[in-house]
Amino acid sequence: MKYSRLLRIAVIFSIITCFGNTAFAQIGDDAKLQYNKGIDYYQLGQYTQAAESFRQAVNLDPNYIDAYYNLGALMEYLGKDEDALNAFKQIILRKPEDYEAVYKAAEISKRIGQLDKASMYLTLIPQDSMIGQKATALSNSIQLDLDKRKQELEAAIKEQEETVQNTAQNAIDSVKQAVYEPQNKIMSEAQRLAEIDKLNSNRNENPEVPAATITNYNNIASPTGIVTDSAGNLYVAGFSDNTIYKIGSDNKKIVYIKSPKIDGPIGLAMDKSGNIYIANYNKNNVLKVGNGGEITELLTDIKNPYCMYITDSYLYVSSQGNNSVVKYRLQ
């Protein structure tokens, strides 16, 4: 804080009182009185009362430069930077060449984070003035802060952009997985069966493997689930044409079940009574087909049912959509 200026003004006032300096005489008597009270309070260490007296002085005479300066210095000392800055601004408006006040305005502006305004104030101070070097040092310090702030802002923007890109990519990947994973699994199953057919064909051509050990059941649209009954009949789910095929011991293929209720059959299972259970993938349910061919809905709200297995009177169903397995007791 500019204590020396406070004391210097007090001495000057006593000299002016004796010799009648005309410049100081332009200040009103009431304003001078409040100013002197401020000096007295200051010397007693009563800084809050001193600041109030200086404030009264500038209220009485709005052009009282030294009262503004002392008010600003005290406000800064008391930690009230905004009030201090306002006092120094009043000096700059009335006396721009008061470079000490300009420097203080720049210093406080930097401290409260107003770096652009601080730089603007420093441009008002000539290099060859008494505080020109201090102003240059402060300007360099502000430039370092501005560069640091710019780097931090650029880093924050880059981080935010990367976060947005990662979030968007994760969302795209999730959608792709939800859309394509079931199809990929179905296609993988079809490819696996195609490889088996190819292997069987190679074995038929290889004299080392008896041809009678390999049998192909062809022309089944996207075959998925397979199950057999006690009589040796084979049942195959055709995913793409929503059909359950039956292949007898004579290797003849017939349409066993085709119904609007069946949509995307995948897993098949059969209980001891010969009832067939169908994992109806696209309709999120499990169907039961009785011995007479009647179709009933056994389980609902099984999201994307996939594989099924029966043991000890329990039916197990994997729910691909919910990443879970459902256990159901058969009656």
Looking at the fold, whether 143 and 231 belong to one and the same domain comes out as no
Looking at the fold, whether 139 and 242 belong to one and the same domain comes out as no
**Considering 148, 175, 193, which residue would you say is the last residue of a domain?**
148
Structure tokens at 27: 């200040």
Looking at the fold, whether 100 and 229 belong to one and the same domain comes out as no
**Considering 108, 131, 148, which residue would you say is the last residue of a domain?**
148
Q: What is residue 248's three-state secondary structure? A: coil
Mean pLDDT lowest for which of 87-96, 184-193, 216-225, 280-289? Answer: 184-193
Asked whether residue 22 carries a pLDDT value surpassing 60, the answer given is no
- Residue 275 is part of a domain; what is its CATH number? 2.120.10.30
Asked whether residue 210 carries a pLDDT value surpassing 60, the answer given is no
Cα(213)–Cα(195) distance, integer angstroms: 17
Q: What is residue 301's three-state secondary structure? A: coil
Task: Determine the pLDDT at residue 301.
Answer: 93
- Tell which residue, 60, 121, 114, 129, has the closest CA to residue 93: 121
- Tell which residue, 220, 306, 214, has the closest CA to residue 267: 306
Structure tokens at 147: 């560069």
Question: Is residue 191 domain-resident?
Answer: no
pLDDT of 146-184, one tens digit each? Answer: 788 778 878 888 888 888 888 878 888 877 777 667 766
Looking at the fold, whether 143 and 232 belong to one and the same domain comes out as no
Looking at the fold, whether 10 and 136 belong to one and the same domain comes out as yes
As a whole-number percent, the residues of the chain with pLDDT over 90 amount to: 62
Question: Is residue 88 domain-resident?
Answer: yes
The range of the structural domain enclosing residue 262 comes to 223-329
Task: Determine the pLDDT at residue 24.
Answer: 44
**Considering 114, 148, 182, which residue would you say is the last residue of a domain?**
148
Question: Is residue 165 domain-resident?
Answer: no
- Residue 21 is part of a domain; what is its CATH number? 1.25.40.10
Cα(123)–Cα(117) distance, integer angstroms: 10
Question: Is residue 278 domain-resident?
Answer: yes
Q: How many Cβ atoms from other residues are within 10 Å of residue 274's Cβ? A: 13
Mean pLDDT lowest for which of 64-68, 90-94, 271-275? Answer: 271-275
Whole-structure pTM value: 0.43
